[in-house]
Amino acid sequence: MTRWGMAIDLDRCTGCEACVVACAAENNIQTVGEEQAREGRAMHWLRIERYYEGEFPNVRTRFMPVLCQQCGAAPCEPVCPVYATYRNPEGLNAMVYSRCIGTRFCANNCPYTVRVFNWFDAEFPAPLDSQLNPDVSVRPGGVMEKCTFCVQRIQAGKDEAAQEERDVADGDIRTACQQSCPTKAITFGDLEDPDSEVSKWAESPRAFSLLGDLDTRPGVVYLSGSEWREPAE
Q: Is there a contact between 150 and 27 (Cβ–Cβ < 8 Å)?
A: yes
Q: Does 218 bind other proteins (CB under 8 A)?
A: yes
Q: How far apart are CA 211 and CA 207, in angstroms?
A: 13
Which member of 80, 147, 168, 186 binds other proteins (CB under 8 A)?
80
CA 130, distance to chain mean position in Å, is 24
In the complex with other proteins, the residue whose CB is nearer, 8 or 195, is 8
Which member of 6, 22, 68, 168 binds other proteins (CB under 8 A)?
22
Q: Does 102 bind other proteins (CB under 8 A)?
A: yes
Burial pattern 53-85, b for ≥16 Cβ within 10 A else e, equals eeeeeeeeeeebbbbbbbbbebebbeebeeebb
Binding to other proteins in span 54-73, by CB under 8 A: 55-57, 59, 61-64, 66, 73
Q: How far apart are CA 157 and CA 215, in angstroms?
A: 30
The site string for other proteins over 135-164 (x = CB under 8 A, - otherwise) reads xxxxxxxxxx---x--xx--x---x--xx-
Q: Does 17 bind other proteins (CB under 8 A)?
A: yes
- How big is the site for other proteins, counted in residues (CB under 8 A)? 140
CB of 86 to other proteins, least distance (A): 6
CB of 21 to other proteins, least distance (A): 4
In the complex with other proteins, the residue whose CB is nearer, 195 or 213, is 213
